[in-house]
């Protein structure tokens, strides 16, 4: 569905073209002065400079060509050559009706050429509980997955499970030393027990102990390396034990992801790329890309004489050295982290053949991904532009440092969700909301409020910036928060239920009052917000729109009585506008991964 800005942009472009001006300058934007106009075009200033003409005179001639457009109630030239456009009430009503009738996209539009897209996010690991560091990747990736699907792409969300490498050898040795896995450690073909010899608590306890011991004890480290090599070479008992590690960890991870309403189409792990390793290394060697470097094998990804610009967190830009070579095989003969990522690209190309792969990973991994992407382009495993690292900032405490517990440790994600849910219960009771609900319904609402608070607090910030975690502020039912947006949806749902109980039906939409105009213009802006969020991989633009829409409805509701309106046709129109606002607001929130309750 085309929005008003696009429609008017075409009309303004045609008017400029008729004056012999390149239509590309005729950009239409929302007005900087909404008290004077709905949209504006500043194209006359740029065009007049190129033509060495008077910009105000050029703007006047363009404006004369637009005056007769029935979609516009006023066309005025302001200042040195700004063209101000005010949309007619009839055009607004038509656009609002189009949004109200669009049950699929709520006024947005689909992409012209859908693509196949893989989004790699979350990155959970075997034996390691999820912590707050996983929060941003999980919810940003989930939102982008929903956004890309919403616009028509075929999308696979991949958890890219960390289930391979040295940490697995550490666990095999640690479990064996405790006598928990004798049946799996024996030589032979089995059969091996179907029941896991370890629990999640065992894994979470043993992994840090084993990692610490390996740093201090060379013999222990060598045992773990040997176990890793035997696992990867296919030792059956180790493989059977490893599968239990993966299954136990995944059960816990699915619990945490389920609480966040984060889902994956693929639970592929690093292990899934292992069968591609040997062939890929042989291919890199045959292409002359894999070279020896101090006993290791690397791919040189820097271009001769290359210099780079690097943007620092404070926004400044410095000269940076070229990226170092990608280490593919260590001097000890082990495949490395980058090797797995490169082989994963090969695997995805062979199995899914995507047009685009997005990696939602901490910004601090930027150089690693640049190395991997350059190697992939050199080897022909992907074309430039098909691989994108979508870095993000950190979630910080009030001290400005990455968020920690009061004891200084990393907070588990499960504990964070529990804290947020406890706080949501308290806030609901303080606001005297949900007192008449059953305990089960109250608990469901408290959970929805908690998740909305966490997700909106994160997604309302630009992906690339860090933000300060403040649960008290996030949980407020006032201001720019998730709970505020849920309250607005519940408010509209209550209005619609009341209308239904009274037998009042929606009718054709017409627009007369200023608050109605503002609400319709906000509804119209959804298409631009969705398009920009998609193109910039920026969910915060959806969050911004959701908040503006909630505010616009609140002002409309206060200024324009709905069920108490004097004329039946006004009641029907405003009821239809309310339903359209609810539909679009819930659509925007779903794109953010936020579920809304029916009442509070």
Q: Which residues contact 314 (CB under 8 A, 6 or more apart)?
A: none
Closest CA to 381 of 341, 336, 349, 340: 349
pTM of the prediction? 0.93
Query: Chain-centre distance of CA 302, in angstroms?
Result: 31
CA–CA separation, 597 vs 600, rounded Å? 7
Centre a 10 Å sphere on the Cβ of residue 309 and count the other Cβ atoms it contains.
8
CB atoms inside a 10 Å sphere around CB 70:
8
d(CA 301, CA 129): 35
Dihedral sign for Cα 402, 404, 406, 409, please: negative
Burial 439-462 (b: 16+ CB within 10 A, else e): eeebebbbbbbbbbbbbbbbbbbe
Gap between the Cα atoms of 82 and 165, Å rounded: 62
Rounded to the nearest 10 degrees, how much is the dihedral formed by the CA atoms of 419, 420, 421, 427? 110
- The predicted pLDDT at position 314 comes to 59
CATH homologous superfamily of 269-392 equals HUPs (3.40.50.620)
Cβ contact 108:185 at 8 Å: no
CATH class of 4-87: alpha beta
Matching CATH topology for 4-87 and 269-392?
Answer: no
Q: CA 193 → CA 171, 180, 186, 190, distances in Å?
A: 18, 12, 12, 9
What's the per-residue H, E or C state across 371-422?
Answer: HHHHHHHHHCCCCCCCEEECCCCCEECCCCCECCCCCCCCCEHHHHHHHHHH
| Cα separation, 511 vs 593, whole angstroms | 32
- Alpha helices in 460-560, H assignment, sequence order: 471-474, 482-501, 514-524, 526-536, 540-559
3-state secondary structure of 291: strand
Q: Which sequence spans correspond to the domains of the chain?
A: 4-87, 166-259, 269-392
Cβ 360 vs Cβ 120: under 8 Å: yes
> Which pairing describes strands 116-121 and 356-360: parallel, antiparallel, or unpaired?
parallel
Q: Note the pLDDT of residue 315.
A: 63
Burial class (CB in 10 A: 0-12, 13-18, 19+), 56: middle
Q: The tokens of 210 are what?
A: 């084993």
Give every strand in the sheet of 296-299, ordered side by side.
Answer: 290-293, 296-299, 326-329
Structure confidence at residue 592 (pLDDT): 98
pLDDT along the chain (600 residues), means of 10: 92 94 90 94 89 92 96 96 97 98 97 98 88 90 98 97 91 96 90 94 93 96 93 93 95 90 94 93 97 93 77 68 89 83 97 98 93 97 97 87 72 90 96 92 97 97 92 94 97 98 97 98 98 98 98 98 96 98 98 97
Three-state DSSP state, 508: coil
pLDDT number for residue 311: 66
Q: Which helix (H) or strand (E) holds 318?
A: strand 317-320
Which of 465, 414, 450, 470 minimizes the C-alpha distance to 124? 414
The sign of the torsion formed by the CA atoms of 22, 24, 30, 33 equals: negative
SS3 content of the chain, % helix, strand, coil (to 5): 55, 10, 35
Closest CA to 600 of 427, 418, 457: 427
β pairing state of 395-396 and 72-78: unpaired
Dist CA 201 CA 245 (whole Å): 11
């Amino acid at each position: 569905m085309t929005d008003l800005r696009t429609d008017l942009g075409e009309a303004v472009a045609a008017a400029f073209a008729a004056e012999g001006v390149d239509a590309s300058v005729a950009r239409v934007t929302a007005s900087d002065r909404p008290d004077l106009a709905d949209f504006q075009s500043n194209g006359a200033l740029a065009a007049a400079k190129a033509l060495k003409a008077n910009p105000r005179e050029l703007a006047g001639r363009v404006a004369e060509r637009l005056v007769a457009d029935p979609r516009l109630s006023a066309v005025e030239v302001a200042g040195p050559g700004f063209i101000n456009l005010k949309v007619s009430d009839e055009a607004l009503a038509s656009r609002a009706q189009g949004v109200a009738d669009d049950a699929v996209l709520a006024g947005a539009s689909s992409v012209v050429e859908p693509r196949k897209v893989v989004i790699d996010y979350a990155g959970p690991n075997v034996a390691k509980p999820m912590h707050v560091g996983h929060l941003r990747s999980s919810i940003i990736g989930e939102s982008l997955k929903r956004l890309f699907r919403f616009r028509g792409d075929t999308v696979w969300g991949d958890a890219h499970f960390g289930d391979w490498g040295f940490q697995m050898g550490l666990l095999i040795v640690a479990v064996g030393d405790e006598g928990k896995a004798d049946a799996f450690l024996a030589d032979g073909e089995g059969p091996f027990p179907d029941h896991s010899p370890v629990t999640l608590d065992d894994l979470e306890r043993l992994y840090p102990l084993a990692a610490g011991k390996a740093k201090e004890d060379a013999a222990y480290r060598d045992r773990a390396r040997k176990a890793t090599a035997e696992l990867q070479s296919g030792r059956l008992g180790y493989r059977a034990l490893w599968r239990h590690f993966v299954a136990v960890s995944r059960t816990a991870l699915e619990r945490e992801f389920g609480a966040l309403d984060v889902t994956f189409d693929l639970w592929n792990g690093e292990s899934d790329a292992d069968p591609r390793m040997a062939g890929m290394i042989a291919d890199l060697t045959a292409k002359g890309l894999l070279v020896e470097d101090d006993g290791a094998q690397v791919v040189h990804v820097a271009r001769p004489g290359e210099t780079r610009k690097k943007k620092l967190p404070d926004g400044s830009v410095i000269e940076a050295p070229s990226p170092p070579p990608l280490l593919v095989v260590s001097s000890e003969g082990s495949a490395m982290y980058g090797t797995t990522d490169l082989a994963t690209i090969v695997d995805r190309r062979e199995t899914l053949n995507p047009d685009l792969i997005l990696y939602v990973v901490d910004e601090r991994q930027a150089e690693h991904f640049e190395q991997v992407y350059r190697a992939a382009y050199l080897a022909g495993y992907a074309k430039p532009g098909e691989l994108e690292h979508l870095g993000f900032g950190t979630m910080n405490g009030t001290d400005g440092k990455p968020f920690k517990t009061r004891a200084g440790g990393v907070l588990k994600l499960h504990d964070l969700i529990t804290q947020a849910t406890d706080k949501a219960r308290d806030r609901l009771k303080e606001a005297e909301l949900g007192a008449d609900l059953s305990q089960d319904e109250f608990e469901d609402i408290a959970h929805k409020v908690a998740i909305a608070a966490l997700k909106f607090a994160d997604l309302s910030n630009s992906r690339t910036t860090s933000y300060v975690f403040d649960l008290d502020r996030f949980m407020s039912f006032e201001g720019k928060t998730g709970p505020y947006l849920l309250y607005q949806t519940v408010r509209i749902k209550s209005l619609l239920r009341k209308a239904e109980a009274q037998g009042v039906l929606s009718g054709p939409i017409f627009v007369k009052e200023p608050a109605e105009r503002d609400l319709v213009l906000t509804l119209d802006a959804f298409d631009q917000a969705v398009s920009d969020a998609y193109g910039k991989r920026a969910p915060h633009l959806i969050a911004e729109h959701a908040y503006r829409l909630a505010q616009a409805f609140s002002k409309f509701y206060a200024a324009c009585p709905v069920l108490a309106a004097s004329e039946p046709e006004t009641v029907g129109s405003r009821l239809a506008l309310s339903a359209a606002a609810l539909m679009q607001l819930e659509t925007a929130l779903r794109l953010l991964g936020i579920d809304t309750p029916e009442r509070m």
